[in-house]
Amino acid sequence: MSHPPSFPPSSAGEPLSGQVARITGGSRGIGLAIARRLARLGAAVAICGRDGKALETAASTLRGAGVRVVAAVADVSRAADVAAFVSQAESALGPADILVNNAGVGLFGPSHQRSEEEWDTVLDTNLKGVFLVSRAVVPSMIRRHTGHIINISSLAGKNTFAGGGIYCASKWGVQGLSGCMAEDLRQHGIRVSLVCPGSVATEFSPHSAKDTSKMLQPEDVAHAVAMLVTQAPQSFISEVQLRPTQKP
């Protein structure tokens, strides 16, 4: 049986000490790995997801390691859910210094064989969700003239592949939205960055035939996020493309 990683004791020297992070899709996989990494760096974290049981398990793991955490069941494609999550997190932990838009879904297959409902599910979660959550968090960041937004995209937002029509469309949209957000918000002291990983070994990946030991791991994406949020404040990295050392 695997055991959750332990966290070092908090100290004033931790680079994110006193900061608050929001992570969507934080109950498992990449989102949970990011929450763990930011907590190690001293941040309090608020996570949301649609699976209440998985969310509570994740929150319990974090609390057991001494992390200040808020967990809320929320669907990022629904404005009311987003507003409730942001309000609950702010009441318990304070305004967000870091937002990681990680929540995502994938439905694969030839686009001409997919339904309108499937299109809506993917685009609403992967693209509209980034818009809704960012819109809810940005006003507070503008008032404080600080903040960092990291959108988890994909190399599928830059490359096409058979069966990826709906998913690629959503991630290409995230690329465009993120670039425009960066230009809109930089004057307010808010940095917007993209992380574009290749296939990551999670239950989400459609590439079941690949050697998962050679694939990117959730912790690899979390490492990239940690790098972004600990960089010097006078600059920001617009985009990180992440690939495995060996092709799986």
Annotated active-site positions, please? 167
The single-letter DSSP state of residue 206 is S
Q: Indicate the residue type of 158.
A: K
3 state DSSP class of 205: coil
Contact 124, 171 (CB under 8 A): no
**Neighbour tally for 140: CB within 10 Å:** 16
Phi, psi for residue 203 in degrees, rounded to 5: -65, -15
Report how far residue 29's alpha carbon sits from residue 8's, in angstroms, rounded to the nearest whole number: 21
Torsion-angle region of 145 (φ positive above 0: left; ψ -120 to 50: alpha; else: beta): left
> Can you give 120-173 as a three-state secondary structure string?
HHHHHHHHHHHHHHHHHHHHHHHHHCCEEEEEECCHHHCCCCCCCHHHHHHHHH
- Which tokens is 11 given? 């100290």
**Neighbour tally for 235: CB within 10 Å:** 7
